[in-house]
Structure 1
Amino acid sequence: MRQFLLLLLLTAAVPSAAQPKAPEAFPYPAKTDRLPNGLSVVRVPFHSPGLVAYYTVVRVGSRNEVEPGKTGFAHFFEHMMFKGTKKHPEGERERLLATYGFNDNAFTTDDFTVYHSYGPTAGLDALIELEADRFRNLEYAEPSFRTEALAVLGEYHKNEANPWLRMEERLLGTAFQQHPYRHTTLGFYEDIQAMPEAYAYSRSFFERWYTPDNTLLFIVGDFQDGEVMARIREHYGPWNRKVAQVPIPTEPPQKEKRTVSVEWPSSTLPRQVLAWHTPAASTTTPSAAIQSVLSDYLVGSTSPVYKELVLDKQLVESIGSGFYPHRDPSLFSLHATLKAEESRPAVEAALTRAIQELASGKVDAARVQAIQSNIRYSLLMHLEAPDDVAGQLAWYAGIFGSPDALSRHLQNIARVQPEQLVSFAKRYLVESNLTVLTLTPATGGKP
């Protein structure tokens, strides 16, 4: 739901030489149809007798919150989508799905929102009708809206006990000046407090973004394709809204190093984050693939930095760079949880040295190739159930916008060349493009 808590970071576009042909990356056959109203429907038969996963991806996230005072609405509206319709009032959908034994939930990111259900194929017809009904005909009264707004405020209060939320707020607010990525998916606190008064705006938010041409369905598991598509056309076909065209502000280039510090009032471990602006992710450029490899290359478990800081000197409890591509230019970040405050200069120096060595042209081609293989096979090893497959397909489609985004992204990863990592570091991982965040606890570390 939140950038740091889900992962961290971003994208890059670097020209490259002729690329080798990459193998087909996604191992299961997929069928895709686009309804006349623009809804994309992707089906993947998967050997899972009696089980099916059903994922709905709406390409709206906190990046779309451009009006002043209205941040956090993509996440808030995820909550409202469970409030019922005239045909199925609040609570009825959940009772019906529970009779079949479906697991049912949702989550929101910077760039998209996902609604997902996993359960018996015997309940698929009922699920299709229920989902189409709420996406077409959501209804809720203002008292219900106000109650849920207070629940979202409570969620913020719960999460603010975690240092990562404060860090994310301060990092994004420092690195971004114009783009909506400057606020977290939860939104600015004062906007969350004001949400109970925004009932009318919430209705316009639904009409603006919850449209068939802004939505993709992923159905994975045991089902009869013809029967499923007939039900989809029956129940989703009348859905006829069009997605709004709302300009997203462009972030101006950063021209000098920025720093921000967080003083944490209670005991925890010190933290360090280095973040650079990088280009938007796209399946037609190598940017996201380069960073997917680069994150492991710089601070993964086979990197010299990991060996130095985690294993040999034991200066940090953890180090990483959770790769999370974004639809718009965002951040590529390295982060470390330090064991003691006095280790901070040595940790930052080690991270900086690793980047400078790469930018100088020193790159281990064999390790690059090993990382590429590991990314591919790690993913394949985790595609063990329909829910796993649908979840991965939905995640990458939400970012990149195409039903086959996962396969295309993996193909791009296979094409990454060592010299592209060097070019990326030279171009983007430079001091004028850098934002540094430090978190120092009140006691200097865990008691």
Structure 2
Amino acid sequence: MKRSFTLLALMASLGSGASLALATSPPPAPVITQNAAGAQQFTLSNGMTLIVQPDKRAPTAVHMVWVRVGSMDEVDGRSGLAHVLEHMMFKGTPTVPPGDFSRKVAALGGQENAFTNRDYTGYYQQIPAGKLEDVMRLESDRFAHNQWPDSEFKKEIEVIKEERRMRTDDNPRSSLMEQLNAATWQASPYHRPVVGWMGDLDSMQPDDARDFHKAWYVPENAAVVIAGDVDVEKVRQLAERYYGSIPKQALPERKPRPEPLQKGMRRVDFKAPAEQAYVLMSFKVPDLRNIVAPQASDKDAMALLMLSSVLSGYDGARLDRRLTQGPARVADAAFSGASVVARGPSTFMLGGVPSQGKTAKEVEDALRAEVARVAKEGVSEAELARVRTQWQASTVYERDSVFGQANDLGSNWVLGLPLDTNDRLLALLKTVTPAQVQDVAARYFGDDQMTVATLLPQPLTDADRAAQKRSAGQGKDGAVH
């Protein structure tokens, strides 16, 4: 599912079996923090997080449940489980038959969906504010009591395998990205695709999904996020009623899986039926972990964010001007991206599509030359000012959307960031200097931390063209129900 996380994106996805009696004196739920826009965060009696963002401008509400589990929490041989379970969460509970969840939400006048990526899984409903309690009852039921027969799994796994074919196997560029990730990461679980390897999907069993749900869908590992025309205290009471009564359960131990130091360039040549070549380069870079008291590595990550936006963050940015325009153009498209905020390790990516008569190697060299130019000549304060202005505008614009507000709050929670991350980040990015951007351009783009994947086009058949046309309409970022 394509997702927009404002600034975080640029660092680049009835009838509960639980007790329904409202406690006459619910246990105190301390406010952990409150941001400038009025969002409040609580801890329910069972350890589940509740985040509420009042917005009275329209009589609507967004209800989301975020679970801190994604493909990075899988093990080899069981890739794709987080996404498979996302699909199975629509297949019923003891009181809601398969398929009825979506029908009930639609009957309430709402829209709903779900999404999975490396770091998390999420579920949401956008409904009239007066129907909030109904969707809380529904969602808490399937969170705690997801249940379905083996026959439902066997049907749905075939749907997921077809989804993999359409989004990845029949899409050369998506396949190339999959190959790049597999080559970039050795120990990190990021080397596995979110949708899973086809062989793992072939061998997956119903109990694999049930066990995954039992292990990770526990109160301590989830957050309920609600934004819209709501009363905070009433929402807190409803959350205790429907979610707080779910029994506590210990989380599995998450063992660190640090990536070994890369000691030389890695290359992947990938052959697939395609019209054009394509090149992707991945460089290992520092993570942005602490925005409250940034350390040296955090400051480098922010400077890398700035570098990425200077290179391709707006129409007419450096890569656009120098690689895709004018008589010396080498690329039909060129881009950069700094993925520095995640539960796992971070990368800076460069990529491009050769123009007619040019090669992938020429595009690769031209992309690296632009980074080297920044390392040698630096960037101007005017370029950084333009980037800051755009980020400020995008943050303000996103807050006009109730869904955008809930989405930001949930993604911040999943990544262990404070509620006011966007405001803090904007303030910190204003402190990044041209000298810092020049410095990271000089230090993080050598051969040893670089992985290159190149699509080598093969002749296209009519069947290939038809398959790729079908694939073109599918989402590419993460996976979605």
Shorter-chain TM-score: which interval? 0.7 to 0.9
Letter in 2 for 1:433: Q
Cα 1:256–1:443, aligned 2, differ >3 Å: closer, same or farther?
same
Q: 1:220–1:10: structure 2 CA closer, same or farther, 3 Å change rule?
A: closer
> Counterparts of 1:139 and 1:163 in 2: how far apart (Å)?
37
Of stretches 221-230 and 320-329 in structure 1, the one that deviates more from structure 2 is 320-329
Partner of 1:119: 127
1:335 aligned to 2:351? yes
Specify the code of the residue in structure 2 equivalent to 1:81. Answer: M
Distance 1:8 1:275 in 2: 17
**1:34 and 2:43 matched:** yes
1:372: which partner in 2?
Answer: 388
Q: 2:170 matched to 1:157?
A: no
Q: String of CA shifts for 1:224-246, please: whole Å, max 9, x gaps.
A: 22221111011111221232212
Any residues of structure 2 matched to 1:85-104 within 5 Å, and which? 85-104=93-112
Q: What is aligned with 1:437?
A: 453
2:320 matched residue in structure 1: 306
Q: What's the TM-score once normalised by structure 2's chain length?
A: 0.82
- In 2, the alpha carbon distance for the partners of 1:209 and 1:170 equals 28
Cα distance in 1 between the residues matched to 2:194 and 2:92: 24
SS of alignment partner, residue 262 of structure 2: coil
**Cα distance in 2 for residues equivalent to 1:51 and 1:8:** 25
Could you tell me which of 214, 219, 239 is aligned with 2:221?
A: 214
Q: Which residue pairs with 1:18 in the alignment?
A: none
Aligned residues of 1:360 and 1:422 also touching (Cα < 8 A):
yes
Q: 2:201 aligns with which of 192, 195, 201?
A: 192
1:243 to 2:251 alignment? yes
How far off its partner does 1:27 sit? 6.1
Using the TM superposition, give the Cα deviation of residue 281 of structure 1 relative to its aligned residue in structure 2, in angstroms: 3.4
> For 1:174-185, what aligned pairs fall within 5 Å after superposition?
174-185=183-194
Q: Which residue of 1 aligns with 2:405?
A: 389
**Identity fraction in percent:** 27
Q: CA deviation at 1:8?
A: 9.5
Q: Distance in 2 between matches of 1:288 and 1:74?
A: 28
Counterparts of 1:64 and 1:158, CA distance in 2: 25
User: 1:431: how far off?
Assistant: 1.2
Q: Determine the C-alpha separation between the residues in 2 that align with 1:8 and 1:342.
A: 31
Kindly state the Cα deviation for residue 252 of structure 1 after the two structures are TM-superposed.
0.3
Asked whether the equivalents of residues 90 and 98 of structure 2 are also in contact (C-alpha less than 8 Å), the reply is: yes
CA distance in structure 2 between the aligned counterparts of 1:288 and 1:158, rounded to whole angstroms: 34
For residue 291 of structure 1, what is the amino acid of its counterpart? L
Please give the residue correspondences for 1:43-442 in structure 2 after superposition, counting only pairs within 5 Å.
43-65=52-74, 67-159=75-167, 160-195=169-204, 198-239=205-246, 240-265=248-273, 267-284=274-291, 285-300=298-313, 301-312=315-326, 313-324=328-339, 325-340=341-356, 342-360=358-376, 362-442=378-458
Paired letter, 1:320: F
Q: CA deviation at 1:207?
A: 1.7
TM-score by length of 1: 0.88
Tell me the secondary structure at the aligned position of residue 57 of structure 1.
Answer: strand
Q: Secondary structure at the match of 1:408?
A: helix
The aligned length equals 425
1:8-28 per-residue CA deviation (whole Å, 9 max, x = no partner) reads: 9969xxxxxxxxxxxxxx762
Give me the CA root mean square deviation. 2.5
Deviation at 1:411, TM superposition (A): 3.4
- Secondary structure, aligned partner of 2:358: helix
Taking the aligned partners of 1:438 and 1:341, their CA distance within structure 2 comes to 16
Q: What is the alpha-carbon distance in structure 2 between the residues aligned to residue 199 and residue 208 of structure 1?
A: 15
Tell me, what secondary structure is at the counterpart of 1:438?
strand
AA aligned to 2:89 is M
Give distance in 1, aligned partners of 2:52 and 2:301.
25
Superposition deviation, residue 61 in structure 1? 0.9
Specify the code of the residue in structure 2 equivalent to 1:310: T
Q: Residues 104 and 332 from structure 1, CA distance in 2 versus in 1: closer, same or farther, beyond 3 angstroms?
A: same
Checking the alignment, whether the CA contact within 8 Å between 1:44 and 1:221 is kept in structure 2 is: yes
Relative to 1, partners in 2 of residues 1:188 and 1:206: Cα closer, same or farther, differing over 3 Å? same
Deviations 1:253-281 (A, max 9, x none): 1111111111122x322211111012333
Partner in structure 2 of residue 23 of structure 1: none
Q: 2:19: which partner in 1? A: none
**Once the 2 structures are TM-superposed, how far is the Cα of residue 343 of structure 1 from its aligned partner?**
4.0
Q: 1:142 to 1:409 in 2, by over 3 A?
A: farther
Q: Measure, in 2, the Cα distance between the counterparts of 1:362 and 1:233.
A: 54
Task: Indicate the SS of the match to 2:344.
Answer: coil
Aligned partner of 2:310: which letter?
Y
Shift of 1:347: 2.3
Amino acid at match of 1:317: D
Name whichever of 393-402 and 367-376 sits farther off.
Answer: 393-402
Say which is worse superposed, 280-289 or 334-343, in terms of deviation: 280-289
TM-aligned CA deviation for residue 251 of structure 1:
1.0
